[in-house]
Structure 1
Amino acid sequence: MFDLHRLRLLRELKHRGTLAAVAAALSYSPSSVSQQLSQLEAEVGVPLLEPVGRRVRLTEQAEILVAHTEAVLERLERAEADIAASLTDLSGSLRVATFQTAALTLVPAALTLLRDAHPRLRVHVTQMEPERALPALLARDFDLVIAEEYPGSPGPRPDGLEREDLYEDPMHLATPPPPAPTDSTDLTGPTNLMGPAGPTDLTSPTATANTTATSPRATLRAQADRPWVLEPEGTAARCWAMALCRTAGFEPDVRFESTDLLLHLRLVEQGHAVALLPDLVWNGRPPTVPLHRLPRGHRSRRLATAVRRGSSGHPAVAACRRALRRGAGT
């Protein structure tokens, strides 16, 4: 019978890519990981790793072993969940990864509910973008991840994960407020760095645009000559935003890049950029900048929770999902 500990090391290597990454994640030395994998090769009787430059990759036989290891670990996840469900008091630790806007809005409310209902449950929260958090969930660094999915840009859905929809978060085009009226002879008044405002659906920066016949696509296209702030290249939000602008007939002038949507908002408020902002960024407060509808099919992003297959029945995971749903409802 193969040693489960060594099989898990092989699985870790598949998910993390290098011996050094496996060693760092598990607090081993790289030489110790290499030695354990060599012993596993001896047990199996076939090569499991082959060199590729300075790195190694799994052989076909190693991939077969990893697939079976995943199935074994899924059963162990279910066993852990069943044991936890048999206990009357929920305790232990739950590791959650979430992106910024959910961390600022949905998570604090859920933490309050969990603290009141299960005071012995320790919840560890890490802010991390879904592009990194979902692979880390598969690698067992987290127990639950809050992820986002943009219209027309479905993210990867690995076989080893189970998703549950959480919240539909409306998205809007955000433009700088119009400059305050000033006396034409006053040369010291505020200057709008964006220049003359383009077509807008709003007469007040605190209302959502829905009052004129200007189409959402035309309103979007009217921002073609303005500076934009978007999330970095490679993120799902950036891919969606670029496709949205290109469908409207222009290439956005991206001068600012950040995953921090509060920075996006500040740049819009100060007249430096146009942005695409979700409703969660307001956290229930009135908007501070004009908001405009987006074209149909692009008006909301979907938030979901993801867990490893087999762990959805764990009481801590189920309690966290319930708390997040209640938080989203308020």
Structure 2
Amino acid sequence: MTALQGFVQRSGRGFARLRGVAASVAVSLALGGCGVVNNMIYKTTGDVMQGFAKSHTVPYLLESQDLAMGCAMSQATAPLLMSFGRVTSEPDQLAVMLYLTSGACIEEQAREYELQGLAQLRAMSAEGAEDAMIRQKRAYALASERYFKGWQHHNAFYGKPDESECPDFDEDLDEFVYFAGLLTGLQALNAEIQSTSSIGVPKNVGSTVARATSCLENDKWWGAPMALRATVWAMIPGALPQGEDAFHRLEIADRQGEQAGVRISHVFHAMAAMNRGDTERLRGIIRSHAESIKETPSNDQWRMVDAMATQLIVAMSDRMWMENTGHRTPFGQLGTFWDDQPEATEVMDLDDLL
């Protein structure tokens, strides 16, 4: 065999081995490449969905007053949007809003069950009242679980308030989501207490939230950070700093919220009044809210926040009306009460005309 023939023979065997390797690579790509490509597609889709939701979906909803639609959206899309955390970064900021909103949806159901229970008590139906109360506690337990998830995602994104300094906010929405996260923490604890069960919410959440509100500009956010802080002072024994007056702070926050057209401070003020058992103060807050929404329209950018405040004020009014009359606040009469004295009317003396 000549040297040339030997070279050709060896080259042929080499090419054959190369073809074998190429075939193996092709088979591997055929079997496993789809997963790689799919993961790339899923990651890109997840990043796009998260970016779109933050840039457009959340701001759009915040400008809406349709709370029912907001509930439907958050409950229907939360599993889809949160599942993208399996293929890309965890959507922690978006999760705060989703769990705050979906938690509020279930809490609204809990309040409905409470009204049903009060109605059953007035009807002397012990079984019906007990059933409604059981459903109420179940709903509050679920609401607490959702709120607590929102609080955990808040801490994952911004850092635990007790263990980290104030975050640097890139834009107003980041700052608002931070405030919303603080609210989820406080609501998680409140709903857990209402459910009379143990969800695992740390009992120091209230004091943690109160301290964290100092990271927010009070004037910029309608007085709500101070209102939230003052509410914690009013509700937790020993939390009030020396020289502070929680209810005076809440009154100032109320005026700021009324002027801004975002009256969430009314809700905090009302919660503090209810906790103290101050019915007259609670009535005054409800009246003030009713007058304010007639005089000052909601802030265009934050309509949903203001609508949520009104929904919660109506719920408090409904509870008072149901306990005392057996029905909710009459339609269009928020700010009035069953025992209000009729306004005096001027009586014309007809004798003077004769």
What is the TM-score normalised by the length of structure 1?
A: 0.20
- Name the structure where helix makes up a greater proportion of residues: 2
Structure showing greater radius of gyration is 2
- Name the structure where strand makes up a greater proportion of residues: 1
What is the TM-score normalised by the length of structure 2?
A: 0.19
The structure, 1 or 2, with the larger RCO (C-alpha pairs under 8 Å, 6+ apart) is 1
